[in-house]
A and B are shown apart, each in its own frame.
Chain A
Amino acid sequence: MVRALLKIRLKQIYRGIIGIGLFRFIFLVGLIGFLGFALYIKSSDKATSQYIIAGFLLLIMFVHFKRGDKLFLKSHFSNYKTLMLAEYIILSIPVLCCFLIHKQWVAISQLTGLLIIINIDLKARNSNLNTKLQELIPDDAFEWKAGIRKQFFIIVPIWIITALTSFFIGSVPIAIFILGIIILSFFERCEPSQILTSFELGATKLLWLKIKRLLQLFSIIVIPLIVLFIIFNIDKWYIPVAEYFIFCSLLVYTIMTKYAFYEPNIKSPAAQIYVALGALGGIIPVFLPVVWLMTILFYSKSVNKLNFFLNDYN
């Protein structure tokens, strides 16, 4: 059974690779190679290997918590825990090899944590949170309503703590970065075509509405924090302002990428990779001109893509 399941996984990976295309596959191989090299170098240090194993187990726990096939495995296979363990062990091979080479026996022994993870049976609960915040968001900004509902208990505490600690120079810039990344995730999934047509707008008008809403709502969240930062650190006013403009660029880029690769009801792998590449612009500002250029390119691609669904509203 384990062999059959792993065979299916291999086929899924193969089809995934075919799906993302050669260019992105090469990029992905490069990225994995780089991460593998970094893992090899860093795992030589005893203290760092502890962080690596903690990070790895957290990652596996996250995968275990999010995987959608648990009910299927439970209802069809009596040894479903063995199946999951086998998958996690295969995933841990690179880490295990690095630890073996550097003789990190303590870290290797901690991999037994996988046995605990497979026995954790948590279910993701749907949050029915309805606050005043959702009511204040315009009806057409459904991504924001959904995103704020999902991330309410992260966004609100971050915002309050940042406001209270805005006199620290790092507080507001770090919060803008975290909030910006969280908001980027609101636009991961493409909406069903009924939602797209419900606006009864042409492609261009819809895109501009999305951009307008994005800038309005992002500004409402971030500008009060920037003002607080400037009150306490007036000489460094340009730091959060620059960050605000960088994230505005990134968010507009994300919307363009989403609709350039729009397919109803899916999370487009291509869009996700482009957004991840664009997010580098938030960390390494040299990439920003590339993000701007790609935004322009993806704008016309988005209009073309959306025109198929919305041409009757032009």
Chain B
Amino acid sequence: MIIIKNLTISYNKYQRVIDNLNLSLDENLIHGIVGLNGAGKTTLLNTLYGLKKPVAGTIQFDNKEINKNSVAYLVTENFFYSSITGKEYLSLFKNNEFDIDRWNKLFNLPLNKIIDGYSTGMKKKLALLGVLKQDKPLMILDEPFNGLDIETCRIIRMILLRLKERNKTIIVTSHIIETLTNLCDFIHYLEAGKIKFSRDKSGFLEFEREVFDKIENENIELINELI
């Protein structure tokens, strides 16, 4: 189980991006984190992985402090080192059992070409292959479906569901609620640095309605004035 206790994260002393957040995530399940732009999703994930130090609070995985050894992290915006090929990038991750060529049959990437010439979607697929190659018990995927075509989105969904069956714990964020409701076991709604509510599969419909109603109610007046 991943237990986040009293987590506070800030970039300056005046503003807390994550404010005293508490959350428990069961293992071997897929957890979705939803929030509007600026809600703190990426900051939370960066902190989970250890790229940002929290001001206060603890994060535990399997009753131990979370450790990069057990986590694979896909960042939202993937940066690659210039002038290396896809294959060279993947060769950096140690896993001899991972058959790059067979896995690549799913994504059809030109792995012998340098990454600089890849499209946004291709870069995302390559980064995903890197994360899959790491084969860690906890996978954190920040916007894994951004910039991908329908076919790849579906393939990734299939892969993630299969990985869950193989006892992986997966945390996913997405701006598109539908991609999460089709995939996750739990969805947690992040607002103003706090988890406002969590829903299991039976509550996804209600959750969607709640989020969309909230957004529409907040903006309808202004839109009526403008158009």
Contacts and interface: CB of A to CB of B under 8 A. Distances in A.
A264 B81 CA distance: 10
B90 to A, nearest CB: 9
A149 B92 contact: no
14 contacts: A128-B85, A128-B112, A128-B114, A130-B112, A145-B83, A145-B88, A150-B83, A191-B81, A192-B79, A192-B81, A194-B75, A194-B127, A195-B92, A264-B79
Nearest to A189: B82
8 smallest CB-CB distances across A and B, nearest first, come from A146-B83, A312-B68, A139-B91, A192-B79, A198-B92, A265-B79, A126-B116, A312-B67
Nearest to B51: A193
B117 interface: yes
A46 to B, nearest CB: 43
A195 B67 contact: no
A264 B75 CA distance: 12
A126 B83 contact: yes
Interface string A119-137: 0000000111010001000
Contacts of B116: 126
A195 B73 CA distance: 11
A127 B85 CA distance: 10
B80 interface: yes
B68 A149 contact: no
B50 interface: yes
A25 interface: no
B114 A195 contact: no
B84 A142 contact: yes
Contacts of A309: 50-51
A287 B78 CA distance: 40
B59 to A, nearest CB: 12
Interface residues of A, number: 32
A126 B117 contact: yes
A24 to B, nearest CB: 25
A50 interface: no
A304 interface: no
Interface in A32-84: none
Interface of B: 50-51, 53, 67-69, 73, 75, 78-85, 88-89, 91-94, 112-114, 116-117, 127, 130, 134
B81 A146 contact: yes
Contacts of A198: 92-94, 130, 134
Given A200-B94, A313-B68, A195 B81 contact: yes
Contacts of A87: none
A140 B112 CA distance: 17
Given A126-B117, A146-B83, A197 B88 contact: no
Interface in A179-211: 189, 191-195, 197-200
A314 to B, nearest CB: 11
A271 to B, nearest CB: 16
B69, B88, B91, B116 pick with most chain A CB within 10 angstroms: B88
Contact of A189 (B51, B81, B114): B81
A199 B92 CA distance: 7
Interface in A140-188: 140, 142-143, 145-147, 149-150
Contacts of A128: 85, 112-114, 117
Given A128-B117, A140-B92, A146 B68 contact: no
Given A142-B84, A142-B89, A189-B81, 5 more contacts: A128-B85, A147-B83, A192-B78, A198-B93, A198-B94
Contacts of A194: 73, 75, 78, 127, 130
Interface in A279-314: 308-313
